[in-house]
Amino acid sequence: MRPSLASFAAALETPPSGPGAYGIRVAHQAAAIIAVAAMVLDTQSTLAHSYGGILSVVVWVFAVLFAVEYGLRLALAPWAHWAHRDEPWRARWHWATNFHGIVDLAGALPVLTLAVGASPAHAQLYGAAWIVKLVAYAPGLELVGRVLRNARKSMGGLFLGFCMVLIVSATIAYEAEGSVQPDTFGSIPSAMWWAVVTVTTVGYGDAVPVTLVGRVVAAMVMVCGIGMFALWTAILVTGFSYEMRRREFLRTWDLVARVPYFHGLGAGTIADVAQLLRPSDFAAGTVVVRRGQPGDCMYFIVTGEITIDIKPPVTLGPGEFFGELALITGEPRSATVVAKTACELLHLDLADFRQLTARHPDVAKQIEAEASRRRRDGVVRRETLGA
């Protein structure tokens, strides 16, 4: 029985790649979107009156599905993760407390709260947590998380400063405005509501100082708010630009190392070339280069295949490059290039092509040799075909 369980568990697991995985993920995300939308609209009385029944059914169908998914995954965790197959409860605990487990727990919340005894109308509000299923797999999330983690010390210090501004300004505003406007500034916690609305520059206008002292403090709080916001931005900009450089370099290196064309280069040259190339993905059928457009970059194929739309069409595969002619001659693209399969390409900008030419003349020479060979071949082929 174990093998079948293991394969079922594996099928449940979102695999890291492959077209099946893509379909499952899209279906999963569509389900989350529909379920959240139904839950949100069901609270609108005008809609609930007409479609309330249907909306509620949709919400609970998905709620049950997500709960079943959570239960199955939890139960099958020992089989899905080979590492702990001999300690099933430890494997379950491990899965339940890791990132995927917590995201899936969010999916099961409505059913769990209903089971605990909440009313259905109340329990279905926990469906808002389904949105986590979308966000958890957003592409940039890990990057943003990394930036925030690196900057946590500066952000923590800034947050303390934020609290200080809140407390000190709320205390002064309470002292200055408390007797004039007891409803809105009658206690420090009330005044803190005003302070937080002001320091974030939201400014609802439900609490507004009227005394001179209150207004001077308010002006200082506003300026502090803008200043803290600017510092916050400065911290994130610094962290983000570091992470982006690091990440781009790493991904490009991996790709460069997979292009046979660069195999002969030393590590020093690869490090250099990797800083010039930039990766980009193309879905199957996408036009990579359109005939007649100005040519501002050339491409190296890492994975997948592309078709050059000449007669007869030419197909290039991993390790080959195209688009170099327009860079060398400065003329518009002479042919349209379409991605035959999903491709990972490295593109080399005109600006970077020139830097490469300047710094690594040998690489440039190889590209030009290949380019002139192609032009000659093109002529020959056209003559042969009578084109």
Residue whose C-alpha is closest to residue 340's, from 366, 326, 322: 322
Site for its own copies in 64-93 (CB under 8 A): 83
Return d(Cα 9, Cα 3) in angstroms, integer: 10
Closer residue to its own copies in complex, CB, 254/377? 254
| Stretch binding its own copies (CB under 8 A), from 4-12, 61-69, 71-79, 157-165 | 157-165
- Residue 322 β-bridge partners: 299
Please write down the HEC assignment for all residues of 152-217.
HHHHHHHHHHHHHHHHHHHHHHHHHHCCCCHHHHCCHHHHHHHHHHHHCCCCCCCCCCCCHHHHHH
Q: Does 260 interact with its own copies (rule: CB under 8 A)?
A: no
Q: Does 215 interact with its own copies (rule: CB under 8 A)?
A: yes
Burial class (CB in 10 A: 0-12, 13-18, 19+), 51: middle
Q: Does 1 interact with its own copies (rule: CB under 8 A)?
A: no
Q: Does 174 interact with its own copies (rule: CB under 8 A)?
A: yes
Closer residue to its own copies in complex, CB, 155/301? 155
Site for its own copies in 321-360 (CB under 8 A): 349-352, 354-355, 357-359
Closer residue to its own copies in complex, CB, 57/226? 226
Q: Does 6 interact with its own copies (rule: CB under 8 A)?
A: no
Site for its own copies in 216-255 (CB under 8 A): 218-219, 222-223, 225-227, 229-241, 244, 246, 249-250, 253
Burial class (CB in 10 A: 0-12, 13-18, 19+), 14: exposed
- Residue 348 β-bridge partners: 298
Residue 154 C-beta: closest distance to its own copies, Å: 4
From candidates 160, 283, 379, 387, binder to its own copies by CB under 8 A: 160
Q: Does 186 interact with its own copies (rule: CB under 8 A)?
A: yes
Site for its own copies in 120-139 (CB under 8 A): 122, 125, 128-129, 131-132, 134-135, 138-139
Site for its own copies in 30-49 (CB under 8 A): 36, 39-41, 43-45
Q: Does 51 interact with its own copies (rule: CB under 8 A)?
A: no
* Chain center to CA of 278: 18
The DSSP element (H or E) to which 300 belongs, if any, is strand 297-303
- Residue 300 β-bridge partners: 321, 346
3-state SS class at 100: helix
CA-based end-to-end distance of the chain: 65
Q: Are 226 and 240 in contact (CB under 8 A)?
A: no
Query: Could you identify the residue written with the tokens 């040799």?
Result: 369
Residue 341 C-beta: closest distance to its own copies, Å: 21
Residue 377 C-beta: closest distance to its own copies, Å: 25
Closer residue to its own copies in complex, CB, 305/349? 349
Closer residue to its own copies in complex, CB, 186/378? 186
Return d(Cα 352, Cα 342) in angstroms, integer: 25
Site for its own copies in 356-385 (CB under 8 A): 357-359, 361
| Stretch binding its own copies (CB under 8 A), from 6-14, 262-270, 340-348, 368-376 | 262-270
From candidates 158, 310, 328, 342, binder to its own copies by CB under 8 A: 158
From candidates 188, 310, 328, 342, binder to its own copies by CB under 8 A: 188
Return d(Cα 267, Cα 278) in angstroms, integer: 18
Closer residue to its own copies in complex, CB, 45/50? 45
Residue 91 C-beta: closest distance to its own copies, Å: 13
Number of residues that bind its own copies (CB under 8 A): 101
Closer residue to its own copies in complex, CB, 172/314? 172
| Cα four-point dihedral sign 75, 76, 79, 81 | negative
From candidates 102, 141, 283, 287, binder to its own copies by CB under 8 A: 141
Q: What is the DSSP string of 324-374?
A: HHHHHH-PPPSS-EEESS-EEEEEEEHHHHHHHHHH-HHHHHHHHHHHHHH
